[in-house]
Structure 1
Amino acid sequence: MVDRSRDTAGDRRAPAAGRAGVRERVRAARSRTGALVARVPARWRYVLALFVGAKVVLALVGVIALSAWDGAPAAPPADEANMRADQEAISSHRSISMWFAWDALLYDHLAREPLDGAWNDFAFPLLFPFLARPVAWVLGGDTAMALLLISNVAFLLLLWYATALGEKLLGDDASARRFTRYLVLLPTAFLFQAALTESLFLCLALATFYYAEQRRWVTVGVLGYFLGLSRSVGFLVAVPLALLLLRQHRYRLDPRSLWGYVRTGWPLALIPAGWLTFMAFCRWRGGDWFAYKHAQEKGWGIRVQNPVPVIWNGLTGVETRDAARVWFAVVLLAVVLAGARRLGAPYVVYALLMVLAPLSMGPPVYKSLLRYLLAVFPVGLVLARWARNATADAWLGATLALLQGALFVVWLAYWTHFII
């Protein structure tokens, strides 16, 4: 007679042993994953988590918002439908195509088409679209994806340099992380992920300040050259960096010190040289050193003027949307000036330049003002110092996140013309 009780017990033990083996393999996999993660430097772990988190959240919000407008009579109106068609031509995936609006489409044109000397060939500094050309070659000629890749890699590096600079200026890791997080939570920081120059410009600006704080002035000059090529205000960053050099030498102005400034700080001349290179390119291809200026005037009616009346007219005019945009600039200036003593002259001057220079373009800047204000990174340093208390940090972070979410949805509804 066969003893089946022994077989039954064996059958029970076999699944149990199998489950134990699965659990053991899962624990081993977790251990290996944990070991790999532990080998990543702490700063990079934080930066990567912030980068991935921002991308996932905004992708979800963007796709949901765009889906909600499907079939809505005014989304977009008939006279604004071309941009939606251009986006769909770039990609059928909304999580990708939504990052192309306004200037992003013009950058794609500059990256894709040969320059023929037309006025709009010189309407933008060419670093961003020209970087996309070799990247697009690697990607099989897809200039749109090349632009998006460049802006997102710059966004990732921006976060690293922000954390590193924050540790230097704020003195501790927790404050540096707050500073970086607030840069990601600024009202229009979603534009760091778009195919625009915001992330590239701020990445280069943060990098120049980081290396300047380390007194690596040749590196500052090389990066500053590309900063000067990236946007029209890039060459102005030479001014606060020169102040940083003076501060490192305690603002001494005797003859021997002047020679020391020249010997140490000569790479700062490379920053305006970047913009002069673009001017020389305009002369070579378009026959006009000031082709950029003339293109801005012809395309958008931009003329340099006193920024103070521009601020006043924006606040007191009949257009409430202009007033709302200018109030963002006023609040940024107020925050920076309130924290000026701790920031120091170089960072205050940089912030003032990044606010007032766009406003000197006159009323046409109103529609793009919220984009340009992203460059004012010192505001994040002030907020990081103010929000040392955990409760204040939580409330400030939540407020900024809600504000950014609202503005992101407004930007996706590009036909409102509120953020261009």
Structure 2
Amino acid sequence: MAERWRNTTGARRRVAGQRARLAEFSARAARVGRRVPAPWPFVLGLFVGSKVVLTLVGLVVLHAWDGVPGAPPADETLMWAQQRDVSGHRWVSLWFAWDSFLYLRLTELPLTEPWRDFGFPLLYPFLARPVGAVLGGDNALALLLISNVAFLFLLYFGYRLGERLLGDDAAARRFLRYLLLMPTAFLFHAALTESLFLCLALAAFHYAERRRWLVVGVVGFFLALSRSVGFFVVLPLALLLLRQHGWRFDPRSLRGYVRTGWPLLLLPAGWLTFMAFCRWQSGDWFAYQHAQQTGWGIRVQNPFGVLAGGLVAGPLDAVRVCFAIAVLAVLVVGLRRRELPYLVYGLLMVLVPLSMGPPVYKSLLRYLLAAFPVCLVLARWARNATLDVWLTAVLALVQGALFVLWLTYWTHVVI
């Protein structure tokens, strides 16, 4: 009996000791957390949480499809082989698809080789060169690392911008949540330009709202180098500058616009830098445009005609076009008069890709991810708790379905 009592007492002491150590660890973690400036704890939690959830879902779905006839489809076997070459770890390789391998090739080509065959701006692959060197020559991992670091800062600048535009912490958090619930938001984790482009766009608007126009110009220079639509962002930023000065157009105001807003010239300068690089490498200022025409059949067209044509082009294209129409409708209905710069930005992110013609249909869902003002509208509407629940559920289901298609190698639905 005495021995049993001693054993029970010892067990209780051990449990009490474990609880004390756990409480001490929790207290230390809380103290460290309080030292981390807001909104980084929330941003980091959102980043890690989305990464863990998508990775686990990805591995489960890929395992479930192993050995299933027709997976991958015949037209995706090349990409499947390229994924295996990139990494033997499926939680890494699943984030590479089609354009990822073209970016990877751009990181490996000698700078002296003409780039006329590649219709891609160069910021993303150029960033991967030094990062890849630090990682021992693993440029694929460098591309993935750049995308994910950009995704982390995307969340930070998104929170700051949402807080300023929507007025409070809760609304800013909803804005980030809806950014992550966009139908193809899982691409923020992929070795593609989505996270880098949107990070730079959100940063540009963040600093523009704070009237730090020199920083806007520097960020905008790189924004124009990250994607062909990037230099168009000078238009909504210029509208934001006009709004800050009360839309005045007298001679004194015009001098003020020039004195304050001259850094906006760095956005078109960024694109001109890319054109100059094309000229240096290939002898053709418009090598990018010609590569787009030759490789993908892209011609500048009326975006509304392309939009209408997509409705009758086939069931899958019609679905993609319906997403674009939904985005346009939310932008037009939901943004307020003083938010004209964000309306113009959102319209550009939809209509400029559509102006590329029917080849854009395959990647339309991917391009719509850049239209972040949609999430500002949804975050404002979602102040109604019931609507918030329904919007969250519907968007999560849509993204889940598209993510499963991506994982089962039907990537042409998205990219």
TM-score by structure 2 length?
0.97
SS in structure 2 opposite 1:252?
coil
AA partner of residue 230 (structure 1)? S
Aligned match of 1:396: 391
Bigger Rg, structure 1 or 2? 1
**What are the superposed Cα offsets for residues 352-377 of structure 1, whole Å, 9 maximum, x if unpaired?**
11110000000000001111111100
- Corresponding position: 1:234 with 2:234: no
Residue 189 of structure 1 corresponds to which residue in structure 2?
A: 185
Q: 1:327 — aligned with what?
A: 322
User: In structure 1, what is the Cα distance between the partners aligned to 2:134 and 2:391?
Assistant: 42
C-alpha displacement of 1:290: 0.2
Secondary structure (helix, strand or coil) at the match of 1:175 reads helix
Q: In the alignment, is residue 245 of structure 1 matched against residue 241 of structure 2?
A: yes
Aligned residue runs from structure 1 range 57-206, under 5 A: 57-115=53-111, 116-120=113-117, 122-206=118-202
Q: CA deviation at 1:67?
A: 1.4
How many residues matched?
414
Q: Quick one: distance in 1 between partners of 2:410 and 2:169? A: 42
What amino acid maps onto 1:161 in structure 2? F
Give the match's secondary structure for 2:356: coil
For 1:11 and 1:64, locate their aligned partners in 2 and report how far apart those are by CA, in whole Å: 44
Structure 1 equivalent of residue 339 of structure 2: 344
* Deviation of 1:58 (Å): 1.0
What code does the residue aligned with 1:20 have?
Answer: A
Secondary structure at the residue paired with 1:400? helix
2: distance between equivalents of 1:192 and 1:172? Answer: 25
SS at match of 1:119: coil
Is 1:36 equivalent to 2:38 in the alignment? no
Matched-pair contact (CA < 8 Å) for 2:97–2:411: no
Q: Which moved more, 1:199-208 or 1:57-66?
A: 57-66
Q: What is the aligned partner in structure 2 of residue 378 from structure 1?
A: 373
Assess, with a 3 A threshold, how the Cα gap between structure 1 residues 8 and 353 changes in structure 2: closer, same or farther: closer
1:368 aligned counterpart, secondary structure: helix
Select between 139-148 and 389-398 the one with higher mean Cα deviation: 389-398
Q: CA deviation at 1:19?
A: 3.1
Residues 363 and 412, structure 2, Cα contact 8 Å, conserved in 1? no
1:277-331, Cα deviation, whole Å (9 max, x unpaired): 00000000111000000000011000111111101111133x1111111111100
How far does residue 118 in structure 1 lie from its aligned partner after superposition? 4.7
Do the aligned partners of residues 98 and 10 (structure 1) sit closer, same or farther apart at CA in structure 2, a change above 3 Å counting? closer
CA distance in 2, matches of 1:150, 1:182: 23
Provide, for residues 170-212 of structure 1, a one-character-per-residue CA deviation record: whole Å limited to 9, x for no partner.
Answer: 0111111101110010000000100000000000000000000
Please tell me whether the aligned partners of residues 343 and 378 of structure 1 are also in contact (alpha carbons under 8 angstroms): no
Q: Structure 1 stretch 21-30 or stretch 307-316: which is displaced more?
A: 21-30
Q: How far apart, CA to CA, are the structure 2 residues paired with 1:345 and 1:53? A: 34
Aligned to 2:72, what secondary structure does the other structure show? coil
Which residue identity does 2:414 align to in structure 1?
Answer: I
2:408 is matched with which residue?
Answer: 413
Query: Structure 2 residue aligned with 1:275, among 262, 265, 271?
Result: 271
Label 1:309 to 1:68 Cα distance change in 2 as closer, same or farther (>3 A): same
Query: How far apart, CA to CA, are the structure 1 residues paired with 2:99 and 2:156?
Result: 26
How far is 1:343 from its partner?
Answer: 5.8
In the TM superposition, residue 415 of structure 1 has moved relative to its aligned partner by: 4.0
CA RMSD of aligned residues (A): 1.5
Say whether the 8 Å CA contact 1:201–1:231 is kept in structure 2: yes
What do residues 126-163 of structure 1 show as CA deviations (whole Å, max 9, x unaligned)? 00000001111111110010000000010110011111
Counterpart-to-counterpart distance in 2, 1:360 and 1:79:
27
CA displacement at 1:27 relative to structure 2: 1.4
Q: Does 1:257 align with 2:253?
A: yes
Cα pair 1:343 1:382 within 8 Å, conserved: no
Cα separation, partners in 2 of 1:9 and 1:383, compared to 1, 3 Å: closer
Unaligned stretches of 5+ residues in structure 1: none
Compared CA separation, residues 416 and 39, structure 1 to 2 (3 A)? closer
| Alignment TM-score, normalising by the size of structure 1 | 0.95
Q: In structure 2, what is the Cα distance between the partners aligned to 1:411 and 1:322?
A: 16
Q: Distance in 1 between matches of 2:181 and 2:67?
A: 31
Identity %, equivalent residues: 66
Residue 368 (structure 1) aligns with: 363
Gaps of 5+ in 2: none
Match of 1:356 in 2: 351
1:211 aligns with 2:207: yes
Shift of 1:47: 1.0
Residue 18 of structure 1 pairs with residue 14 of structure 2: yes
- Deviation, structure 1 residue 350: 0.5
Q: Tell me if structure 1 keeps the 8 A contact 2:73–2:409.
A: no
Please give the alpha-carbon distance, in whole angstroms, between the structure 1 residues aligned to 2:5 and 2:414: 71
> One-letter code of the match for 1:197?
T
